[in-house]
Amino acid sequence: MSEPAERIIDFILREIVRRPGVQIDVDTPLVSSGLIDSLALVEILHQVAEVTNLRIPAGKVQARDMDTVRLMLATAARVGKPRQ
Amino acid sequence: MNSRFASQGATLYQTLPEALLSAPPQEAFVTFWESEDDTRSVSFGEMVNLVLAQAAWLREQGLRAGDTVILIMPQSIPLMASFIAAMYLGAVPAILAYPNFKVEPAKYRSGLAGVSTNLKARLVVLDSGFPEGLIEHVVVGDGARLVRYSELAATPFCITPEAGSHPEGVAFIQHSAGTTGLQKGVALSHEAVLRHLARLIGVLRLEPGDRIYSWLPLYHDMGLIACFMLPMVAHVPVVMQSPTSWVMQPATMLRLIADYRCTLSWLPNFSFQFLARRVDREERAAFDLSCVRALINCSEPVRASSMDEFLDAFSACGVRSEMLQASYAMAETVFAVTQTKLYDHELPCRVWVNSEVLRKQHRAVPVSADDPAAVCYVSSGQCLPQTQVRIVSAKGQHLPDGDVGEIIIHSDAMLNGYYNRPDLTDQALKEGWYWSGDLGFVWDGEVYVVGRKKDLIIVAGENIYPHDIEEIVSSHPAIHDGRVVAFGLYNPRLGTEDIVVVAELRGKVIPENTFPIEQELRNSIVGALGVVPRHILLKPANWVVKSTAGKPARSATREKALSENKELQEYKQEPALQ
């Protein structure tokens, strides 16, 4: 697993899920499975931008683009722009 | 004040489409923000053209006066045009939530079939981008036809409304909550909506310079009435974005308000906190919000802490305390029952009452704010004109000021009834009074809402029936059927309620790792209802408290769960009435 993916997973477990015994990998559905609420996506999107060092215009991102960590990183690569 | 804004102005119209047709055609109506590089605006005149084109198309599809039509389209200008077009033909539209990617096809199927049958819909209109995977699951009732909408050129058609649209007739149907059998369609007449809007225009002192901002869904009364019907009838502009775009980037709301100089907005309580916590401090500086007259906290219990947090976060942007107002509203009364004063630099009143007396004796006894037993309630304001509120006991006795009881409401602008559900109408409407199921008290003419008699969970402004969740959880093979309780707990971190589910497992031994079962339950709940339970507590047999009739007792199980579960300690407890 890539380092950015690990950091995002760690953030989701520590800050969002906050329950013991939960395991997720890059392909675990997060929102569609009910593991996290879509209200938490804005925090995760900030973290993805932080980890990838990209500026991600939130208007180009839909909730379905954030359903797994793999999708999040692909979305960041697709719509992200270098930070100035 | 401009004469067209006189508070009785709206009642000059016989039907809602007439109000649109009478608007000054060149003036701005809806600006719809999709993303940074995609914004669409229509004037009142352009909206009329869209409505006429859409009405011609709907008539071609077989829609006639008196028919009901279900609209399942994304939040957009075409959805608004279709809604008015249906009314223009004398038909009765109902907007249903657009399925998001979380929806499970089978659950969607049964929900839609139920509504379509109850409404006896002639047409179900889906947009051209409706998810392919769900199309085959769209089942409509007998006599209904499914049609796909595609945006037509906005060419004015010579089309005249059919006879059948009249002031007392049902204008549209709103669904307040529920899925399956619990879904209730609130039927409102043109007359009731116009009468209500006339009063709202007066109470809000709406002026030609006002501009409304909204991210609220159009299937919800706040989005539909306050942010679509109100600007249409009062001929003021509205700036909108979809709920999903707002959730992904909450700061866009502030940018749109600042850029378009919006003056009014309605928001559920949680969003005040969400904005304060999710918009970066550095980002805030860019927004000048001094143009706002009022941000009205509505559709969830109003929390002083949420309002204060918002004020702290945005006072540097020009937000002043008197901008933060409140209202108590529901679909059954068209919209607002009460509204706080938006002028004279007044804030909504706050009272601190003794929580123990409130809980045990159902009376609000004021104490000082620093009393250890003090709990703060924010007023939702005073009744709108021609609207009366009474607080009544369980036996229906009228209670004096300060006593807590059920809020019942009477006005001449209320629902005609629940559509095709005379049984539910009879339960809720008694001798012209609507029994809201909310608990509250009146103090100095101000209405304070303190809780609910009916077991409803309100998550981010959306009404969820515990029964819907319990039914889904009960159907899981590992769960003891019928031994499930769902309830809401206020989460002060979010400013809204969290859903908690307590369910008994079948079998005598609780597996060591219950996470897979929990996850399956989460999956089913989010797939059917679109909401996520925060806690699922799986328990051994006989854990759920039962009533004398042998049914799960919600409030007793809630108390037991709160006292016995560590994970529920984070919830700040409020007085639950005994």
CB contact under 8 A, B250 and A42: yes
Q: How confident is the model at residue B319 (pLDDT cuts 50, 70, 90)?
A: very high
What confidence score (pLDDT) does residue B183 get? 66
Query: Residue B154 pLDDT > 60, yes or no?
Result: no
Q: pLDDT (tens digit, 9 = 90+) per residue, B513-544?
A: 888 899 999 988 888 788 889 999 999 988 99
CB contact under 8 A, B533 and A64: no
Residue for token pair 């974005």: B241
CB B192 within 8 A of CB B416: yes
Q: pLDDT (tens digit, 9 = 90+) per residue, B196-244?
A: 999 999 999 999 999 999 999 999 899 999 999 999 999 999 999 998 8
Query: Quick one: average pLDDT of B137-144?
Result: 74
Backbone phi, then psi, for B286, in 5-degree steps? -75, -10
- Poorest-pLDDT segment among B175-179, B400-404, B503-507, B521-525: B175-179
Q: Distance between CA atoms of B114 and B504, rounded to whole angstroms?
A: 29
Q: Distance between CA atoms of B519 and B527, rounded to whole angstroms?
A: 12
Domain parsing of chain A, residue ranges? 3-82
CB contact under 8 A, B101 and A67: yes
Query: Residue B101 pLDDT > 90, yes or no?
Result: no
What confidence score (pLDDT) does residue B3 get? 39
Tell me which residues of chain B, numbers 211 to 250, contact chain A at a CB-CB cutoff of 8 Å: 244-245, 247-250
Q: Distance between CA atoms of A56 and A82, rounded to whole angstroms?
A: 9
What confidence score (pLDDT) does residue B452 get? 79
Q: pLDDT (tens digit, 9 = 90+) per residue, B349-381?
A: 999 999 889 878 889 999 999 998 888 999 999
Query: Residue B152 pLDDT > 80, yes or no?
Result: no
A31 in contact with chain B, both atoms CB, cutoff 8 A: yes
Q: pLDDT (tens digit, 9 = 90+) per residue, B413-439?
A: 999 899 999 998 999 999 999 999 899
Query: Residue B491 pLDDT > 90, yes or no?
Result: no
Residue predicted with more confidence, B513 or B572: B513
Residues of chain A with confidence (pLDDT) below 50: none
What distance in Å separates residue A23's CA from the closest CA in chain B? Answer: 9
CB contact under 8 A, A59 and B35: yes
Q: Which residue of A has its CA nearest to B514?
A: A21
CATH of domain A3-82: 1.10.1200.10
**What percent of chain B is predicted at pLDDT more than 70?**
92
What distance in Å separates residue A2's CA from the closest CA in chain B? Answer: 25
DSSP string, B210-222: --EEE---TTSHI
CATH of domain B333-411+421-452: 2.30.38.10
Burial class (CB in 10 A: 0-12, 13-18, 19+), B339: buried
Partners of A64 on chain B (C-beta within 8 Å) are: 100-101
CB B478 within 8 A of CB B506: yes
Q: pLDDT (tens digit, 9 = 90+) per residue, A9-31?
A: 999 999 888 877 788 999 999 98
Residue predicted with more confidence, B99 or B31: B31
CB contact under 8 A, B249 and A42: yes
One-letter identity of residue B297: N
Domain parsing of chain B, residue ranges? 3-248, 333-411+421-452, 457-568
DSSP string, B382-446: EEPTTEEEEEE-TT-PBPPTTB-EEEEEEESS--SEETT-HHHHHHHEETTEEEEEEEEEEETTE
What confidence score (pLDDT) does residue B161 get? 65
Q: Distance between CA atoms of B31 and B42, rounded to whole angstroms?
A: 7
Query: Residue B566 pLDDT > 90, yes or no?
Result: no
Identity of the residue in A22, A32, A38 whose CB atom sits nearest the CB atom of B247: A38
CB B543 within 8 A of CB B502: yes
B501 in contact with chain A, both atoms CB, cutoff 8 A: no
Distances (CA, A) of B570 to B73, B444, B489, B563: 39, 34, 10, 12
CB contact under 8 A, B248 and A61: yes
**What percent of chain B is predicted at pLDDT more than 90?**
58
Q: Taking all residues of chain B, what is their mean pLDDT, rounded to a whole number?
A: 88
Partners of B244 on chain A (C-beta within 8 Å) are: 38, 62-63
Identity of the residue in A35, A45, A62 whose CB atom sits nearest the CB atom of B244: A62
Model ipTM? Answer: 0.75
B110 in contact with chain A, both atoms CB, cutoff 8 A: no
Q: How confident is the model at residue B179 (pLDDT cuts 50, 70, 90)?
A: very low
CB contact under 8 A, B522 and A35: yes
CB B453 within 8 A of CB B533: no
DSSP string, A2-44: -HHHHHHHHHIIIIII--TT----TT--STTTTSS-GGGHHHH
CB contact under 8 A, A33 and B523: yes
Assigned fold of B457-568: GMP Synthetase; Chain A, domain 3 (3.30.300)
CB B527 within 8 A of CB B492: no
Q: Distance between CA atoms of B351 and B378, rounded to whole angstroms?
A: 7
Mutation site, A38, A44, A68, interface B, largest B CB count within 10 A: A38
Partners of B268 on chain A (C-beta within 8 Å) are: none
Query: Quick one: average pLDDT of B402-418?
Result: 94
What distance in Å separates residue A79's CA from the closest CA in chain B? Answer: 13
CATH of domain B3-248: 3.40.50.12780
Residue for token pair 């058609």: B157
What confidence score (pLDDT) does residue B576 get? 63
B510 in contact with chain A, both atoms CB, cutoff 8 A: no
What confidence score (pLDDT) does residue B573 get? 63
Taking the model in full, what pTM does it have?
0.87
Query: Residue B155 pLDDT > 60, yes or no?
Result: no
CB contact under 8 A, B248 and A58: yes
